[in-house]
Structure 1
């Protein structure tokens, strides 16, 4: 079982979108028994809360359900249990590096490092309009495809019906 954790600041916009979209992509590929997906934030401001309503709406408009996701803060156990801890932006990555035990630092990466895109960060849409949430969803979809391809190649998962 490969465990992937997506991390942003509050775990209400970007990381739950990545969580929901990637979980869908993994299920579509028939790999739900091989890959576990989760999300968290570097802050605990929204612990137990649903994703931002704008993230949920944008996801729903594209066929993804985020209603099963609840916000939570990254824990020390995450650094031990997760195989990939993927930050949405450099600031999230720096915050993770400050609290990650050195022996688990190799697990920390930017999510979009797996994708061949002209951008390396998923921008925070919180203070913007709907176009920011749409951009996040598009980047997450592309990043998810690239990440799944990486996991399939690295862990030799057979992807039968991935698009």
Structure 2
């Protein structure tokens, strides 16, 4: 598994948030509809605001049920990372992220299947064999590269962690 640990100062995630049901396999149609409802200018505006790692347009899942129950609601934010000091326009949602460590898992292949397989493998393979555990915070997916039809993509999954 292609993994690295990153220590980040406090930062913020800004963008357009919606409450959606958690779906473990396949494309989440509620997230797809949320993103599709945004005009192209909103995506371009967010890209221009991106100011720190993780870079680019981000898929953020926050406020997830501790049991990760299928169908439970979560907050999905389509947005970007900015420094803690960055002023945020009033029409965007903001999630404050405290300083801490992140496990970053890279995936490349069929989208979203490869990303979902890596996500599952973090729980079954990586966490049990490494001295880290999840800490409170959102999970973040950064799409580094993708096919025009989005059938394949290279992504990074950022998970907040602390030493066990």
Query: Structures share a fold, TM > 0.5?
Result: no
User: Shorter chain as normaliser: what TM range?
Assistant: under 0.3
TM-score, normalisation: structure 2: 0.26
- Which structure has the larger Rg? 2
Which of the pair is proportionally richer in strand? 2
Which of the pair is proportionally richer in helix? 1
